[in-house]
Chains A and B, each alone.
Chain A
Amino acid sequence: MKSINYLLYPMILISILSLINTLAYAAPPTPVISYDKNNDTLSVNANNASFKDILAHIASRSGIEIQMDDKAEHLTTITLDNVPLEKALSELARQSNYAFVYSEPNSSDDNSPSGKPMLIGMYILPKGEFSADMLRPVPLLPATGEAFIREKDRYSTPAQKVEIFNHAQQRWEARLKAMPTERREKLLADANEKRLQVEQRQIEREQKKQKHAEKRIEREETRQARLEELKTTDPETYERRMKSREEIRQGQSHNDN
Chain B
Amino acid sequence: MNVIIKKRLLSSLACATVLPVALSGCGGGGDDSPSTTTTPGNYTITAQGGLGGANGGAGGSGEYVSLYKESGSGDIEILRTGKANASFTSQTPSTNLGDNPLAFTVDTTIDVVSAEPAAGIPYLVANSTTLRISDGNTTLGDEDPVTGLSVASGATLTLALNYTTYSYLSLSNDVDNSGTITTEDDSATARGGLRLYPASYIGKNGSSINTSATLDSQSGGFLRVSADYSIYNHGDISTFGADSAAGSAGDGGYVDLNSNYLTQNTGNINSYGGNATVGTAGDGGSIDLEADYSHLHNSGDMNSSGGNGTTGGQGDNVYFYAYNGNLLNSGDINSSGGNSSAGDGGSAGDIDSEVYGGKLVNSGNLTAMGGDTTNSASNAGSGNNVYFYSEYGSIYEYTPANEMIISGNINTSGGNAVSNGTGDGGSAGYIEAEHYSYDYPTEAGIAFLGYTDINTSGGDGNYGGSAEDLSLYNDYAWSDADIYVPSGNVTNEANLTAKGGNVVAIATTTPANGGSGGDFNLETEYNYGYMVPELEKVHNTGNADLSGGSSLESTTSSTGRSGYVWFWGYNGVDNSGIIVSNGGDDLGTDGGTTGYGNYANDIEFYAELGPVRNSANLTNNGGHGEYHGGNSDGIELYGPTVINSGNLTSNGGNADETLASSTGGYGGWIELYSPDSLLGVSHSGAVSHTAGTGDTVNNYGAFIKGGMCISGDC
Interface, chain A (partner B; CB < 8 A): 2-3, 6-7, 9-10, 13-14, 17-18, 20-22, 24-25, 30-31, 33, 53, 56-57, 59-61, 137-146, 148-149, 152, 156-161, 164, 194, 197-198, 201, 205, 208-209, 212, 215-216, 219, 223, 226, 230, 234, 236-237, 240-241, 243-245, 248-251, 253-257
A24 B434 Cβ-Cβ under 8 A: no
B434 A209 Cβ-Cβ under 8 A: yes
A256 B230 Cβ-Cβ under 8 A: yes
A56 B533 Cβ-Cβ under 8 A: no
CA distance A60 to B168 in the complex (A): 76
CA distance A245 to B226 in the complex (A): 12
**Interface of A: prevailing SS:** helix
CA distance A249 to B640 in the complex (A): 53
In-complex Cβ contact of A21 among B228, B229, B354, B679 (8 A):
B679
In-complex Cβ contact of A30 among B319, B354, B395, B679 (8 A):
B679
Q: List the A side residues contacting B21 at CB < 8 Å.
A: 248-249, 251, 253
Among A57, A223, A237, find the residue whose CB has the most chain B CB atoms closer than 10 A.
A237
CA distance A119 to B656 in the complex (A): 53
Q: What number of A-B contacts does a CB cutoff of 8 Å give? A: 214
CA distance A17 to B607 in the complex (A): 13
B678 A160 Cβ-Cβ under 8 A: no
Minimum CB–CB distance for B90 against chain A, Å: 14
In-complex Cβ contact of B679 among A57, A226, A245 (8 A):
A57
B675 A197 Cβ-Cβ under 8 A: no
CA distance A216 to B94 in the complex (A): 35
The 10 closest A-B pairs by CB, nearest first: A139-B707, A251-B20, A145-B638, A56-B677, A244-B228, A60-B675, A6-B5, A257-B93, A237-B170, A143-B673
In-complex Cβ contact of B678 among A7, A53, A209, A243 (8 A):
A53
B677 A244 Cβ-Cβ under 8 A: no
A248 B170 Cβ-Cβ under 8 A: no
A60 B674 Cβ-Cβ under 8 A: yes
Q: List the B side residues contacting A241 at CB < 8 Å.
A: 197, 226, 228, 260
Minimum CB–CB distance for B706 against chain A, Å: 6
In-complex Cβ contact of B609 among A2, A13, A219 (8 A):
A13
Between-chain CB contacts (< 8 Å), 18 pairs = A6-B531, A17-B610, A17-B640, A24-B682, A57-B679, A60-B676, A61-B675, A140-B704, A148-B606, A158-B1, A205-B473, A212-B387, A219-B354, A244-B228, A245-B293, A248-B261, A253-B229, A253-B261
A139 B708 Cβ-Cβ under 8 A: yes
Contacts beyond the supplied A145-B671, A257-B93: 19 A-B pairs with Cβ under 8 Å: A21-B641, A53-B677, A56-B708, A138-B677, A140-B709, A143-B638, A158-B528, A194-B604, A197-B564, A198-B568, A201-B523, A209-B434, A230-B197, A240-B228, A241-B197, A244-B228, A251-B20, A254-B199, A254-B228
Q: Do A251 and B526 contact each other (CB < 8 Å), given the known contacts A6-B5, A9-B531?
A: no
B22 A256 Cβ-Cβ under 8 A: yes
Q: List the B side residues contacting A157 at CB < 8 Å.
A: 527
Q: List the B side residues contacting A148 at CB < 8 Å.
A: 606, 638
Q: List the B side residues contacting A194 at CB < 8 Å.
A: 604
A244 B199 Cβ-Cβ under 8 A: yes
Which B residue sits closest to A62, measured CB to CB? Answer: B675
A56 B530 Cβ-Cβ under 8 A: no
Minimum CB–CB distance for B102 against chain A, Å: 18
A33 B387 Cβ-Cβ under 8 A: no
A216 B641 Cβ-Cβ under 8 A: no
Minimum CB–CB distance for B446 against chain A, Å: 15
Interface, chain B (partner A; CB < 8 A): 1, 3, 5-6, 19-23, 66, 68, 93-94, 96, 129, 168, 170, 172, 174, 197, 199-200, 226, 228-230, 258, 260-262, 290, 292-294, 319, 321, 352, 354, 387, 389, 395-396, 432, 434, 471, 473, 484, 521, 523, 526-528, 530-533, 564, 566, 568, 604, 606, 608-611, 636, 638, 640-641, 671, 673-680, 682, 704, 706-709, 714
A10 B533 Cβ-Cβ under 8 A: yes
A255 B93 Cβ-Cβ under 8 A: yes
Among B532, B609, B636, B674, find the residue whose CB has the most chain A CB atoms closer than 10 A.
B674
Q: Do A18 and B676 contact each other (CB < 8 Å), given the known contacts A164-B530, A249-B395?
A: yes
Minimum CB–CB distance for A51 against chain B, Å: 12
In-complex Cβ contact of A201 among B129, B471, B484 (8 A):
B471
CA distance A253 to B261 in the complex (A): 8
CA distance A84 to B174 in the complex (A): 83
CA distance A120 to B129 in the complex (A): 84
A219 B229 Cβ-Cβ under 8 A: no
Q: Do A141 and B229 contact each other (CB < 8 Å), given the known contacts A212-B434, A237-B129?
A: no
CA distance A212 to B293 in the complex (A): 22
CA distance A145 to B609 in the complex (A): 12
